[in-house]
Amino acid sequence: MQQQVTLTIDGSTIRAARGTSVLEAALGYGICIPHLCHVPGLKDTGACRLCIVENVQNGRSRVTTSCTLTVQEGMVIRTNTENIKRLRRNIAELIVAEAPNSRAVQDMAVRCGVREVRYPFRRENCIQCGRCVRYCTEMWRANALGFIGRGKDRKVDFAFGNRRDICKKCQSCVIYCPMSVTPCGGPMKPGEEKLCGKCESVELMAENAYGACVHCELGKGFQCSRHAM
């Protein structure tokens, strides 16, 4: 029999199976913690840092990623404090600055309350969320893709940069890449990057019903696990 634990997320008591992550437990109860690198069924690595929550223990709160935090008996989690919102907004801004040419990332940022980006746009085409690498390794066991190098030179590539023959041609890396969803207005011109403001109505909705999963249209954009279910 599956063991259940009881924990508190944002004041509501929740029962979850032992071993699941806080993020999964919250999503199962319709509490929306913004997330990007999480794909249901894959190991979580906490790459995007968007799903940060406050884990309150003995009156002290620690900020950690909820996807790598397993549920424990009597846990108290807060997902929408002012501190968390501020940190999350900053993280979302950094992700947008890294890769502005993705509707998924843009929508995600708007959902996190970003109104303007204070960092210079770097126009990379990868935010290193590792969704493609993990899908390739864990789901298809193809091991064609992987992270090469380290530090600021880290990038996703084939072995030796040219071993495409190992690839099983499942296209999952494209389907699961947040960069594959282009912005509504098409790719932005260099120097004219801006945050897309067309989804502000959704932002308002998300702010009014904070903490609740509104089954947002945005979810389709960044392949929210609620939509994948």
Partner 1 sequence: MATANLDSVLEGRRSQPSQLIEVLQDIQDLYGYVSEDAMEQVAGGLGIPLMEVYRVACFYKAFSLQPRGKNVITVCTGTACHVRGSDLLIDQVRGQLQIEPGETTRDGLFTFECVNCLGACALGPIVVHNDAYNPHVTPGKLRKMIDKAEEEGKKEAAYGKTGKA
Binding site for partner 1 (CB under 8 A): 137, 143-150, 158-160, 163, 166
Query: Which amino acid is it at 189?
Result: K
Residue pair 127/95 in contact (Cβ under 8 Å)? The answer is: yes
Return the number of the residue (68 or 143) whose C-beta is nearest partner 1: 143
Minimum Å distance from CB 130 to partner 1? 13
Return the number of the residue (137 or 180) whose C-beta is nearest partner 1: 137
Return the number of the residue (151 or 186) whose C-beta is nearest partner 1: 151
Minimum Å distance from CB 157 to partner 1? 9
Return the number of the residue (109 or 145) whose C-beta is nearest partner 1: 145
Minimum Å distance from CB 25 to partner 1? 32
Residue pair 55/7 in contact (Cβ under 8 Å)? The answer is: no
Backbone dihedral angles phi then psi of residue 193, each to the nearest 5 degrees: -65, 135
Minimum Å distance from CB 173 to partner 1? 13
Minimum Å distance from CB 153 to partner 1? 9
Return the number of the residue (118 or 152) whose C-beta is nearest partner 1: 152
Closest CA to 36 of 115, 99, 80: 99
Minimum Å distance from CB 134 to partner 1? 12
User: Rounded to an integer, what distance in angstroms lies between the CA atom of residue 28 and that of residue 121?
Assistant: 35
Minimum Å distance from CB 104 to partner 1? 26
User: Rounded to an integer, what distance in angstroms lies between the CA atom of residue 104 and that of residue 181?
Assistant: 6
> Which token pair is 78?
């807060």
> Which token pair is 208?
């009014």
User: Rounded to an integer, what distance in angstroms lies between the CA atom of residue 14 and that of residue 28?
Assistant: 10
User: Rounded to an integer, what distance in angstroms lies between the CA atom of residue 106 and that of residue 114?
Assistant: 9
> Whose structure tokens read 């980006």?
117
User: Rounded to an integer, what distance in angstroms lies between the CA atom of residue 158 and that of residue 151?
Assistant: 18
Return the number of the residue (74 or 149) whose C-beta is nearest partner 1: 149
Give the CA distances from residue 113 to residues 38, 87, 91, 124, in Å, rounded to whole numbers and listed in that order. Answer: 20, 11, 11, 22
Return the number of the residue (130 or 221) whose C-beta is nearest partner 1: 130
